[in-house]
A and B are shown apart, each in its own frame.
Chain A
Amino acid sequence: MEEVVVGRIMSVSELNVTVLIYEEKIKIHDILYTYSKGRKIAFEVAEEEGKVVSAIPFQSVVGLKKGLEVYKAESGLEIEYSDEILGKVFDSYGNLIDGKEIEQEHRRNVYARSVSLEEINLNGGILWTGIKVLDFFAPMQKGYKMGLLGGAGVGKTVLIKELIHNVYSGMNSNSVFVGVGERSREGKELYDEMNEAELLDKMSIVFGQMGENSAARSKAIFSGLTLAEYLRDEKHHDVLLFVDNIYRYVQAMSEINAELSRIPIENGYPANIESAISNVEERINSTENGSITSFQAIYIPADDVTDQAVQTITTHLDGQIVLDRKVAEKGLYPAVDVFNTFSKLIDIEKVGERHYRLVEETLRYYSRYRELEEIIAVLGIEELSMADTNIFYRTRKLRNYFTQPMFVAENYTGIKGEYVEIDDILDDVENILRGTYDDVDESYFLFIGKYNGRK
């Protein structure tokens, strides 16, 4: 196609290039590009005002000048939409970055196709993860969206990787991994591990990692969603979608928002935060064609769980697992805060009465334990009543029991991972609560799979 000049650059800042447009009709999400010192720099239109458009650059703008000629690309942001996506790694803009090639390209625009109310399908079987604390407190169903919330360095990524290991390896289906604003090192490790486990050919990966600018980090999720939609709509698969980390998408949107000089809400978040998140979450749904089951890691900035972005994302979820620094500090991994962890599946009608009652009873023990800890700090253990002493020791056992050696964490713990069946979990918890194991030392419950009878 012949390149036609559509306008010229008027102003440049790190994340915002304004272009004066001559005649052409330009709309939001169109892609413009220019050449500077032999380098092609593309930008996506974010705002229009008369003949002036503001665009977000995809590459570094160092060296750009006022007056440079700007061209319009044939199409907006696209990604491959065919069987070729499996086993491939894309960047946020739909380019392959793993050195592989696609011969016959079938590309599709990455934006907005929400599912209508009528299409949505709620039915799905329970999806066990083999991780005790998750299956017990927050079991997962096909088609659910599960959030993994945690501050910095409490184990979100390890948990996501363990889920990939346990769920994806066991489920005969394809999956999509979207890396948004996370470590490149971890991205490469995931790729290598999938490759070694020969799981890569059932998986598509999109990376817009933290070393890249906000445009890349804000687009990765859209590219990833398009891949998942292909597998659901065209291949009729039950798709697993892993997003690490959805918060980084909002963070990138804040950066862009500030560069466009739009007035932010608290903590610098964009005023359209709700719709920005809905644009993503409403596309993650199950239909008659197939399901999308998603695990989304959510970073909690400054350990502040009331953060606007975190709260807005969690309203879309069917369940959440909250990781807590205070638990991690005690060396108890996965460091789950059981009080804030839940799933819509914890319902008498869904998991059955036994599971439901056990969860209720366990939470009652935990919350009494929390009170007792304060009493003990002042009075010592000897002063507790018999009933409280039992609750105190049994809860400590439960707390230890809900730690677990993970397959992907063998490097930290030195212990091989374990997959635990739900029936074993329910039996063990019931026995601890009933006092069957009162004479077993609490340390024997630490980092085991199901209780092994050791005394």
Chain B
Amino acid sequence: MSGFIENLVNAKLRNMKDMNNVYEVGHVSKVKDYMLEVTGLEAVGFYERVVIANHSVGYVTAIEKNHVMVALLQRTDAIYVGDEVVTTGYDFCAMYSRAAMGHVVDIFGEDRLLGEKFEGLKPYMIETPAIPIMERGEVNRPFYTGIAGIDLIYPIGYGQRQLIIGDKKTGKTQIATDTIVNQKDRNVICIYVAINKTKKTIRELYDNLMKKGAMEYTVILASFNDDEPAVSFFTPYAALSIAESYMREGSDVLVVIDDLKAHADIHREISLLAGKIPGRDAYPPDIFYTHSRLLEKGCQHKDGGSITILPIVETRGGDITDYISTNIISITDGQLVLSRKNFEKGLKPAINYGLSVSRLGGAVQTADMKKLGATVRRKFLSYLETKEVYQLANVDEMSPEMQRSLQEGEALQERLLQYKFSPRTPEEIKRDFMEVVGNEL
């Protein structure tokens, strides 16, 4: 038996040693949804772009002993077994033009509203190597969202990755949109990454940003839910690759990724279809790395530029401890948890102050904001906890300290309320909250 294998291997070995002519054309041997098995491509590179039957585009996801696997990126017509597959000699890259600012584009460089390609498209590697540790600088410049609950209590800095997490209809996208709108005249390039969204949602977002004059410095990099899944999978990587090129020129970039739960589900779908072994909740074992390498692109570069990332994750039933959410929480520099209950009570933005975290905290605040923020946070959290335990207790019998801290808490709660598109400057925030706790600073 082993002799038989040996012979087979030796024969193969001779073939490989003698192989002089290089095949450039292969044939589709199997079609499994958007994954194709192609035979006859002996000299194709991993990740190389290939053209199928002159009309569709795909890229090589695996090179196996007798065939290669190709994932479809664009399908314009039906694909049959036996169709010709031609190699191009190029790695698959995203196409992007600086002229795309202010538009809704996809990773092929097409304006999705006008349906035409931009001039001056340049290739961007989908994935660039990790940004070396020693090239990173300290994250310490305050990045203002205009929302008091964030700027004061759970602040964000240039180069930070802050997760926005919550159920459907809790205002996640609104916080991201508010943040973009607040960047007007601050010299920040905004990239809104839409993963697997409906066309209607994108249209609405575009109109909203347009109305507020925010499209001047924003590009929406979108994949729609009728695009091929591989496109949706690549869109955030392409966005970060584009952001990196801006950053290396010294610009500050904000990337909103809406949303990573959808991205995880697409990755699971593609992996299972490709026959990979599933892990927890049927997600492939590399699901953590899928998101960690993406979000690690966010940084303050030592030479000046920065990439700030606001990824969004949608939860179910308010559970932020599910597999994907905790994975992403363990990558980001903090999370802003939005709660359905608060939203229903009209406490907007519906931030759950107990569960939210900023790992950078005061490091990204000015000295006075930091002092004020730390005090407000401590008092407000203690108020929320005390309120819960003593809600049945008789207020009149409480110690004067307790009564005062409950009143103070209510005053803070009231000042944290804020409606959409009504940003507050740091000065306004300071003024509002100093009124409550100022005498203790």
A residues in contact (CB < 8 Å) with B = 8, 10-15, 18, 20, 22, 36, 50-52, 60-67, 89, 97-99, 151-153, 157, 181, 183-185, 187-189, 191-192, 207, 209-214, 217, 251, 254-255, 257-258, 261-264, 267-269, 299, 301-303, 325, 328-331, 373, 376-377, 379-382, 409-415, 441, 443, 446-447
Q: Do the beta carbons of A20 and B13 come within 8 Å of each other? A: yes
Q: Is the CB of B42 within 8 A of A66?
A: yes
Choose among A66, A97, A325 the residue that contacts B132 (Cβ–Cβ < 8 A).
Answer: A97
Q: Are B329 and A446 in contact (CB under 8 A)?
A: no
Looking at the assembled complex, report how far the CB atom of B349 sits from the nearest CB atom of chain A, in whole angstroms.
18
Q: Which of B143-151, B250-258, B285-293 contacts A (4 or more CB under 8 A)?
A: B285-293
Q: How far is the CA of A268 from the CA of B268 in the complex (A)?
A: 13
Q: A66-B43, A303-B326 are in contact. Are A184 and B130 (CB under 8 A)?
A: yes
Chain B binding surface SS class: mixed
- Residue-wise, chain B 392-433 has the 8 Å CB interface mask toward A (1 for contact) of 111000010100010000000000000000000000000000
Known contacts: A209-B296, A414-B375. The answer to whether A184 contacts B133 by CB under 8 A is yes
- A414-B354 in contact (CB<8A): no
Docked Cα-Cα span, A381 to B399, in Å, equals 14
Restricting to B128-155, which residues have a CB under 8 Å from any CB of A?
129-134, 136-139
- CB distance A64 to B46 under 8 Å? yes
Closest to B354 in A: A329
A-chain residues with CB within 8 Å of residue B394 when the two chains form the complex: 382
Q: Which residues of B contact A187 (CB under 8 A)?
A: 133
B355 contacts A by Cβ under 8 Å:
yes
Q: What residues on B are CB-neighbors of A330 within 8 Å?
A: 354, 381, 385
* Shortest 9 CB-CB contacts between residues of A and residues of B: A268-B279, A414-B374, A211-B296, A211-B130, A331-B381, A152-B329, A152-B330, A210-B292, A412-B361
Q: Contact flags (1/0) for B297-328 with A, using CB distance below 8 Å?
A: 10100000000000000000000011101111
Cβ–Cβ contact B322 & A257, under 8 A: no
**Assuming A60-B127, A258-B284, A413-B374, is B16 touching A67 (CB within 8 A)?**
yes
A187 to B401, CA, bound (A): 42
Given A211-B292, A211-B296, A301-B280, do A22 and B13 touch, yes or no (CB 8 Å)? yes
In the complex, given contacts A62-B46, A211-B131, A411-B360, what are 15 additional A-B residue pairs having Cβ atoms less than 8 angstroms apart?
A11-B62, A20-B16, A22-B13, A51-B6, A60-B127, A65-B44, A98-B134, A152-B327, A152-B329, A153-B359, A210-B289, A213-B293, A257-B277, A330-B381, A376-B392
In the assembled complex, which residues on chain B have CB atoms less than 8 Å from the CB atom of A414?
362, 370-371, 373-375
A264 touches B133 (CB 8 A): no
Chain A nearest CB, measured from B341 CB (Å): 14
Please state if A64 and B45 are interface contacts (CB–CB under 8 Å).
yes
Contact B381–A183 (Cβ < 8 Å): no
In the complex, A412 Cα to B358 Cα: how many Å? 8
A254 close to B46 (CB less than 8 A): no
**B43→A446 contact, CB < 8 A:** no
The residue that A268 contacts in the complex, of B280, B327, B373, with Cβ under 8 A, is: B280
Residues of A within 8 A of B378 (CB): 331, 413, 446-447
